[in-house]
Each structure stands twice: as structure tokens, then as C-alpha cells.
């Protein structure tokens, strides 16, 4: 292979290519010193549309009382559209809708659901504010607005996270810390973001402030840790902009390492505040296992992990592939991905800090090829420019992981018109109680 020397990895280093214009698709490389570490043995802590209308009850008949929702704010926050629907019915509804959308391309296999569809979210966000009388509140924005719906506990969120958020409200009162007001820009405390390790039990608390100065910072951290000794790291994030974005650019570690670790499909991953990491660990293991199964890896393949994030799919697939090329535009994510490769002692994966579409086109121009492309784009799907890059590279197989069936159908239309055929579609219910569903699709070159 003409590019073998360019592509070869030094055994003591992991490489990452910065984004930008390069004449060669490998570009400038960054190295990170490799140190072998023993793997931690983590243990787990422990109404349908189309119904006929019933006849109006007679005046003498007593009306049936309205069914009480499982959640006191259901219908206000807009977060759990299907919460009061029995879970089997939720699965049936999603199966039907996905099958209808994707019928032109492939028969849809049976949806993979959860045994326990509650408290699955390992990432919990709460926005903070106050009532007119000054009482501190926390919760989520009402759908389509910036009106805060107060939430004490949520049926799909990690219960440890909810308890921490409730106690932070009390600490703000004790320490006389003002919450941020979006309209006036006055106040300090904006959000709390909590990430939890399903297998490791580790907990990260991110305090998002409007300025970098937290009054009585050390005492605040000490008080929070006393209430919740299970917290393994606390990070202060500064977001002084008038924006709907939760996190700002600047961060300071107040306690611990500044990240947590958790296990996924037998590999250990470092997760920082800004890392993309699937919110449902149980279902992610099923999803990624199915994705790798669909790829049919034999140990001889060159694999591309596009939109690689912190490296999850590529690193999990590395045991079954000859080599994995992981591409990600976000430099923070690439840094975490390199650390994750080191953490797991994986040496047949290389990371490139670049736009995946540009990178694949550069590969094709250099006469390079790939056997399998994994793609896990954002909810908006892939644009035509990216999809054309995949077509240009001409891999034997594409494994498309999608979190939106509508954009998936749009992208399948393009791919099937340009030389690929959808062979299998497997829905995985990553988001019980909501209308969203993940899908894993195998496409093969015709």
C-alpha cells in the first residue's frame, strides 16, 4: 500500500491530525505518550390516534375521574411525551412508525426495548432560577420557551443526580448565592450538569456560573461533598454569554480529576463535561453490539469511525478489525478519544482531528479505500456533502447509527440511489417515554 509509511503508528504514540487544509490526507500528526495501565474491574451499583369517539355520558351517569399521570409535571415540561402509555404500547407505536417510514428501503426488525425503562439517563441537566419571592427553583425549560418548570425528581433521570440537584438548591440559599436572570443578565448561578457512571458509580457535578468567581468556593464544595460523598469530581464551568447553550468554554476543576470513567461493552471510557456519550448505557451496549455485528468484521478490515466523538464505536470494534481510523472535528473529543485508547491499551486505532467528510474525500483522492464505514451523525442526520464523500470512498459496507428515523429515511434515499442497498434495520429504544428511537442500519454496496 502506497501510504503504509504515512499511516503506520509508532507503538509508543497515538496520532491525531488537526483540522485544516492539508495536501496529504494524513496531515500533521500529534503524539501522546503511552503509558500502560491495568483495567479497572467496575461493578455495577447497585392513547392511540384513530380511536372512535364514545357516546357522551348521560347526565345521570357519573364521569370517570381523569387518570393521574405518573409524573406531576407531565404535559408541562414536554420531555416525556409517551410517559403515561404502557411500555409495550410505546414499543409497538415506535415499531409501527419506523416500519412505515423505512418500508421503501428495508424490512424493519423487532425493536429492542428495556427491561426497566425508568431512571436510565446518565446525563442530567437542571436550569436554575427563582420565583418572585426569591425562592430558588430548578428544573427544565418548558418546551419551546425559557420558562422554568420546577422539577424535584424525574422518572427517566438518575435518582442520585436528582438528589444532588435538590441539595444544591438548599446550598444556594445557605450561601446566599443569586441565581442568574436571563432577561436582566444579573445573578451568578445558571445550571447544573451531572454525569453518572452506570457501571463505575462515579459522579461528575458541573456548576455553570455567569462569572468565574464562586463565593466561599472551598466551603461550598466541602458542604456539597459532605451531603454527597459519592461525588467523585466537581467542575466549575463559566458561561457569561446571553445564549441558550448550557456550557461555556472555560472550566476549572474544583475537586477530583475533572472527568469520570465508565465501562461500555468491555472497554473503559473517560467522559468529560463536554463529551458526547450516549445517555442510556444499558441500551447503548445493545446498540453498539448490534452495529458491530452488522459490520460482520473478521479481523481483516480497515474500518472508518466517522463522527467518532470520544472513540466509543471504533474502540469497541477494534478487537475485530485489522485497523480503525477514527475521525472527529471536535478537538476536545479527540483528546478524550486518545486517552481512551491509551486507557484500554488499544494500538490499532488512529485518530484524526478533521471533518470526516473532507477526510474521506482526501483518502479517495489518495487512492485509499475502506471496507466498513461506521457513521453516527447528530439528530439532523448527514448532509449531502458528507454522504457524497462516503460514496466517493466506496466502502463495501456502511453501518449507519441514527437517532432520528425521519432524517435516516432522507439519507437512505440518497445512499440507495448511489450504489448501496439497505439490508437490515434494527430499532433500539434508547429513550423510553419519549417519541425518539435509535436505529442501526446495514447498507452494502450493490
Catalytic residue IDs: 403
Q: Which three cell numbers stand for residue 235?
A: 467542575
Q: State the Cα–Cα distance between residues 391 and 443, nearest whole angstrom.
A: 12
Place of cell 381523569: 66
> How far does the chain reach from its first CA to its final CA, in angstroms?
25
203-209 and 233-238: which strand pairing? parallel
Radius of gyration of the chain from Cα atoms?
24
Sign for the CA dihedral angle at 284, 373, 332, 350 comes to positive
Q: Where are the alpha helices (DSSP H) in 64-123?
A: 87-102
Sign for the CA dihedral angle at 310, 314, 318, 322 comes to negative
Q: State the Cα–Cα distance between residues 421 and 109, nearest whole angstrom.
A: 16
- Beta strands in 131-186, from DSSP E residues, in sequence order: 136-141, 148-150
Give the Cβ contact number of residue 267 at 10 Å: 20
Closest CA to 41 of 234, 262, 211: 262
The torsion region of residue 150 among left (phi > 0), alpha (psi -120 to 50) and beta comes to beta
CB 318 within 8 A of CB 324: yes
In order, the DSSP letters of 272-324 are -TT----SBHHHHHHHHHHHHHHHT--S--EEEEET-TTTHHHHHHGGGSSEE
Closest CA to 390 of 412, 414, 426, 361: 361
302-306 and 323-328: which strand pairing? parallel
Closest CA to 311 of 287, 272, 277, 280: 277
CB 261 within 8 A of CB 197: yes
CB 263 within 8 A of CB 42: yes
CB 208 within 8 A of CB 239: yes
Amino acid at each position: 500500500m502506497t501510504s503504509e509509511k504515512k499511516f503506520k503508528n509508532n507503538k509508543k504514540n497515538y496520532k491525531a491530525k488537526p483540522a485544516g487544509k492539508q495536501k496529504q490526507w494524513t496531515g500533521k500528526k500529534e503524539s501522546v505518550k503511552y503509558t500502560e495501565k491495568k483495567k479497572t474491574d467496575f461493578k455495577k451499583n447497585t392513547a392511540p390516534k384513530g380511536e372512535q369517539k364514545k357516546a357522551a355520558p348521560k347526565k345521570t351517569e357519573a364521569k370517570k375521574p381523569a387518570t393521574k399521570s405518573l409524573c406531576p409535571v407531565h404535559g408541562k415540561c414536554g420531555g416525556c411525551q409517551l410517559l403515561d402509555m404502557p411500555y409495550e404500547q410505546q414499543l409497538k407505536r415506535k415499531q409501527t412508525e419506523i416500519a412505515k417510514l423505512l418500508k421503501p428501503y428495508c424490512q424493519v426488525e423487532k425493536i429492542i426495548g428495556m427491561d426497566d425503562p425508568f431512571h436510565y439517563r446518565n446525563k442530567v441537566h437542571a436550569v436554575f432560577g427563582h420565583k418572585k419571592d426569591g425562592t430558588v427553583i430548578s428544573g427544565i425549560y418548558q418546551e419551546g420557551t425559557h420558562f422554568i418548570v420546577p422539577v424535584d425528581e424525574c422518572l427517566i433521570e438518575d435518582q442520585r443526580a436528582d438528589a444532588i440537584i435538590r441539595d444544591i438548591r438548599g446550598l444556594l440559599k445557605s450561601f446566599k448565592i443569586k441565581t442568574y436572570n436571563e432577561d436582566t443578565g444579573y445573578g451568578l448561578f445558571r445550571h447544573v450538569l451531572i454525569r453518572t457512571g452506570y457501571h463505575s458509580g462515579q459522579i461528575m457535578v458541573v456548576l455553570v456560573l455567569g462569572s468565574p468567581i464562586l463565593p466561599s468556593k472551598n466551603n461550598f464544595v466541602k458542604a456539597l461533598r459532605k451531603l454527597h460523598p459519592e461525588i467523585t469530581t466537581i467542575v466549575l464551568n463559566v458561561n457569561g454569554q446571553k445564549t441558550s447553550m448550557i456550557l461555556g468554554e472555560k472550566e476549572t476543576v474544583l475537586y477530583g480529576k475533572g472527568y469520570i470513567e465508565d465501562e461500555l461493552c468491555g472497554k473503559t471510557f473517560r467522559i468529560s463535561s463536554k463529551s458526547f456519550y450516549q445517555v442510556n448505557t444499558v441500551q447503548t451496549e445493545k446498540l453498539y453490539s448490534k452495529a458491530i455485528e452488522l459490520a460482520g468484521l473478521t479481523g481483516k478490515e480497515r474500518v472508518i469511525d466517522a463522527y467518532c466523538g470520544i472513540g466509543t464505536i471504533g474502540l469497541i470494534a477494534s478487537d475485530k478489525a485489522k485497523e480503525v481510523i477514527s475521525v472527529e472535528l471536535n478537538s476536545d473529543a479527540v483528546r478524550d478519544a486518545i486517552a481512551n485508547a491509551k486507557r484500554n491499551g488499544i494500538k490499532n486505532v488512529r485518530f484524526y482531528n478533521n471533518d470526516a467528510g473532507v477526510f474521506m474525500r482526501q483518502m479517495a483522492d489518495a487512492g485509499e479505500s475502506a471496507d466498513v464505514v461506521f457513521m453516527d451523525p447528530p439528530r439532523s442526520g448527514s448532509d449531502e456533502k458528507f454522504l457524497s464523500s462516503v460514496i466517493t470512498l466506496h466502502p463495501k459496507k456502511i453501518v449507519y447509527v441514527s437517532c432520528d428515523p425521519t432524517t435516516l429515511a432522507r439519507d437512505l434515499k440518497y445512499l440507495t440511489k448511489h450504489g448501496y442497498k439497505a439490508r437490515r434495520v434494527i430499532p433500539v429504544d434508547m429513550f423510553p417515554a419519549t417519541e425518539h428511537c435509535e436505529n442501526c442500519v446495514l447498507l452494502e454496496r450493490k
